[in-house]
Amino acid sequence: MNKQSLRVLVTGAGSGIGAGIALELAAQGCELIVTDLSAEAAAAKAEAINAGGGTATSAGLDVSSDEAVAAFCRQFADPIDVLVNNAGIQHVARLEDFPMEKWDQLVQIMLVGVARLTRALLPGMRERGFGRIVNIGSIHSLVASPYKSAYVAAKHGLIGFSKVIALETADTDITINTVCPTYVKTPLVEKQIADQARVHGISEDQVIETIMLKPMPKGVFISMEELGGICAFLTSPAARNITGQAIVVDGGWTVQ
């Protein structure tokens, strides 16, 4: 399928990684559906894409709600070729201090929500004989850090989920992969820096140096251009036999 004809849905695209990926794919000629829990944030990003010469529409979408996903699918009935499951939140606390409703919320958004939206779009992909699903995981899909039990559990779950769906879709030209980056400078990470400083009792500069970048031999944050380029590659014909994989973008963290 020609990349210029791809219709791409990105969740959590009102800001951060999702916004960066949406901008990159729009620049490559894809038609974007920009979604976010905040309909206003999604609309602003779609407007920016259109102003830059791309093509985008937007919608508010709560991936943790069956009703919201069903309503979205009724609204956007035209085929969606590529699904980028990016929506996510973070909460940093010891398990003893971690509110269970917050724990459940993280898993609902970053794991159950991925399954919910993938399940809704898979029949259409099967009918057309083509689909690309890209889950935005994390270095925490592979390793752990203290005080992030819900986030790490959800991101680890994406790896197993992707492997199963890769097998279930092996009979057609559908792929599913999980991109696992280390830290990207986004509003979510900026908040994590402050939270980690509070929990560990150190300065924010120390958090960046000793917690975030020290495990990475390359010692730099991952860029939006890198993530957007990887997602673009995974939608290309060259990647049609890459499925069920964890694409690790970690500056050498996990090779040590």
Domains, the chain, ordered by start: 3-181+223-246 (3.40.50.720), 183-221 (no CATH)
Per-residue b or e along 103-138, where b marks 16 or more CB atoms closer than 10 Å to that residue's CB: beebbbbbbbbbbbbbebbbebbeeeebbbbbbbbb
Q: Is 151 a catalytic residue?
A: yes
Q: What does the pLDDT read at residue 195?
A: 84
Per residue, the 3-state secondary structure of 90-153, as one string, reads CCCCCHHHCCHHHHHHHHHHHHHHHHHHHHHHHHHHHHHCEEEEEEECCHHHCCCCCCCHHHHH
Q: What does the pLDDT read at residue 196?
A: 84
Alpha helices (H) in 2-99, listed in sequence order: 16-27, 39-51, 66-75
Q: What does the pLDDT read at residue 1?
A: 53
Residue 2's pLDDT band (cuts 50, 70, 90): low
Q: What does the pLDDT read at residue 4?
A: 53
Supply φ then ψ for residue 200, to 5 degrees.
Answer: -85, -15
User: For the whole model, what pTM was predicted?
Assistant: 0.93
Q: What is the mean pLDDT of the chain?
A: 95
Q: What is the pLDDT of residues 81-94, one digit of tens each?
A: 999 999 999 999 99
Q: Identify the active-site residue in 103, 130, 147, 151.
A: 151
The whole-number average pLDDT for the span 22-28 is 95
CB 82 within 8 A of CB 235: yes
Q: What does the pLDDT read at residue 5?
A: 79
Q: What is the pLDDT of residues 113-156, one digit of tens each?
A: 999 999 999 999 999 999 999 999 999 999 999 999 999 999 99
Residue 199's pLDDT band (cuts 50, 70, 90): confident
